[in-house]
Amino acid sequence: MNILVINCGSSSLKFQLINSETEAVLAKGICERIGIDGSRIVYQPEGGQKIITESPMPDHTQAIKLVLDSLTDTETGVVKSLDEIGAVGHRLVHGGEKFASSTIITDEVIAAVTECNELAPLHNPANLIGIDACKKLMPTTPMVGVFDTAFHQTMPEEAFLYGIPYEYYKKYKIRRYGFHGTSHSYVSKRTAEILEKPYDQLKTIVCHLGNGASVCAVKNGKSVDTSMGLTPLQGVIMGTRSGDIDPAIMEYIAKKENLDIDGVMDVLNKKSGVLGLSEFTSDFRDLEDAVLAGREDAIRAMKVFAYSVAKYIGSYVAAMNGVDAIVFTAGLGENNKYVRTDICDYLGYLGIELNQEANAKRGMDIVISTPDSKTAVLVVPTNEELAIARETLALVK
């Protein structure tokens, strides 16, 4: 069966068409600037060149229509008709406490996801628009929702409750939810396969390090703690997000800078992290170049970043009473050998020794610790689209 995977944001929409038998990506691409001037679709069939077409996309329905037109195009398409698309898998960011696993999308599910909109105002409404657009254009094709939060629903109460009045949990469901669950689940499973160990007997710490970054403790196949919280602002320092801070800093900044709560949140979400610390970039590639050139501002940002990740790893060793494997994934985790080295330099107490030849490789599943290392360290490229396609297949079969 061919499965269309959709990751719908507020102004962009990423897609992949995956053959579920071979797991080959038949085509992939992105619609950019939806609802804004200059919208375009980038479409790439398997083994072919990228085709970039500028075309007005006043809304997501038009964007999905262009995706379906591209997939069925007589020259560059990869299927003859929409009948060859057996199901659609949607990435959904927030499922609250209602969804501990992926689900077939029904009207009831749409209503339940809509109730979670307040918890992810930037993401959930956009995800729902994508579902609505697919419903209009492919009304009989089954759709599945795969939630970023679902994998973390196994966290115990001591990990998900905050030290604030319990009534806020009861009334408003304020708690840790965690994100990047599809990635943490995929990468931790893959780690067990690579190490040839049973997934349900392994303690793994996954470091998903991209623009958004989170660390997850996976014990015996279940997420038992993760660094992001009610929202993706908590946890390690990120590209532009502050991660953990003393909550009182918010009041202090508000008074000093004469900002209201929206202004303070904007600083913490968009002007902090390594961008705020380096004062010049949120991009880890730029930072890597600047660190290699000896720039103090970049070195400062990267030191704070690596330290914040190392501290989370330490706390999850405590949470799981040990660790068998530490795994790096996502844009930065997969590609930056210096960051991996800096983080592992803090972990001598785990008996970690890196094999720098392996650590220098890119784009593959690889063990980067030496055979003598007491804890295994790996790089496992994440593949959220494939994970969504697998979940979708399992439910529509």
Choices 7-15, 152-160, 289-297, 328-336 (CB under 6 A): range interacting with ligand ADP: 328-336
Distance CA 273, CA 189 (A): 30
Q: Is residue 335 a contact residue for ligand ADP (CB under 6 A)? A: yes
Amino acid found at 195:
L
Beta-bridge partner residues of 207: 215, 328
Query: Using an 8 Å Cβ cutoff, are 60 and 8 in contact?
Result: yes
220 is in an annotated binding site: no
Between 95 and 239, name the residue whose CB sits nearer to ligand ADP. Answer: 239
73: Cβ–Cβ under 8 A, 6 or more apart, which residues? none
Q: Is residue 178 a contact residue for ligand ADP (CB under 6 A)? A: no
Checking DSSP bridges between strand 143-147 and strand 85-92, what pairing results, if any? parallel
Main-chain dihedrals φ then ψ at residue 256, nearest 5 degrees: -65, -40
124 is in an annotated binding site: no
Q: Identify the residue among 216, 301, 330, 386 touching ligand ADP (CB under 6 A).
A: 330
Choices 20-28, 53-61, 311-319, 331-339 (CB under 6 A): range interacting with ligand ADP: 331-339
241 is in an annotated binding site: no
Query: Using an 8 Å Cβ cutoff, are 89 and 6 in contact?
Result: yes
Q: Is residue 210 a contact residue for ligand ADP (CB under 6 A)? A: yes
212 is in an annotated binding site: yes
Between 95 and 273, name the residue whose CB sits nearer to ligand ADP. Answer: 273
Smallest distance, ligand ADP to C-beta of residue 8, A: 15
Q: Is residue 70 a contact residue for ligand ADP (CB under 6 A)? A: no
Between 261 and 292, name the residue whose CB sits nearer to ligand ADP. Answer: 292
Q: Is residue 17 a contact residue for ligand ADP (CB under 6 A)? A: no
Q: Identify the residue among 45, 96, 181, 212 touching ligand ADP (CB under 6 A).
A: 212
The catalytic residue among 69, 83, 148, 365 is 148
Q: Residues 242, 246, 248, CA angle at the centre, nearest 5°?
A: 115
Name the CA dihedral angle for 176, 182, 188, 189, rounded to a multiple of 10 degrees.
140
Between 73 and 297, name the residue whose CB sits nearer to ligand ADP. Answer: 297
Between 60 and 91, name the residue whose CB sits nearer to ligand ADP. Answer: 91
Between 18 and 274, name the residue whose CB sits nearer to ligand ADP. Answer: 274
Distance CA 149, CA 295 (A): 38
276 is in an annotated binding site: no
In the region spanning residues 280 to 299, those forming contacts with ligand ADP, defined by CB under 6 A, are 283-285, 288
2 is in an annotated binding site: no
In the region spanning residues 124 to 153, those forming contacts with ligand ADP, defined by CB under 6 A, are none
284 is in an annotated binding site: yes
7 is in an annotated binding site: yes
Is 148 among the residues known to form the active site? yes
Between 77 and 331, name the residue whose CB sits nearer to ligand ADP. Answer: 331
Distance CA 386, CA 390 (A): 6
Main-chain dihedrals φ then ψ at residue 51, nearest 5 degrees: -115, 120
Smallest distance, ligand ADP to C-beta of residue 288, A: 6
How far are the Cα atoms of 6, 91, 181, 216, 395 from residue 207, in angstroms, in the given order? 24, 20, 12, 7, 28
Smallest distance, ligand ADP to C-beta of residue 258, A: 31
Smallest distance, ligand ADP to C-beta of residue 252, A: 29
Scored b (16 or more CB within 10 A) or e, 187-202 reads bbbbbbebbeeebeeb
Contact characters 214-243, ligand ADP, x per CB under 6 A: -------------------------x----
137 is in an annotated binding site: no
Q: Identify the residue among 27, 105, 332, 393 touching ligand ADP (CB under 6 A).
A: 332
Distance CA 387, CA 289 (A): 32
Main-chain dihedrals φ then ψ at residue 217, nearest 5 degrees: -95, 120
Annotated binding site for ATP: 14, 208-212, 283-285, 331-335
Catalytic residue numbers? 148
What are the residues binding ligand ADP (CB under 6 A)? Answer: 210-212, 239, 283-285, 288, 330-332, 335-336
Annotated binding site for Mg(2+): 7, 384
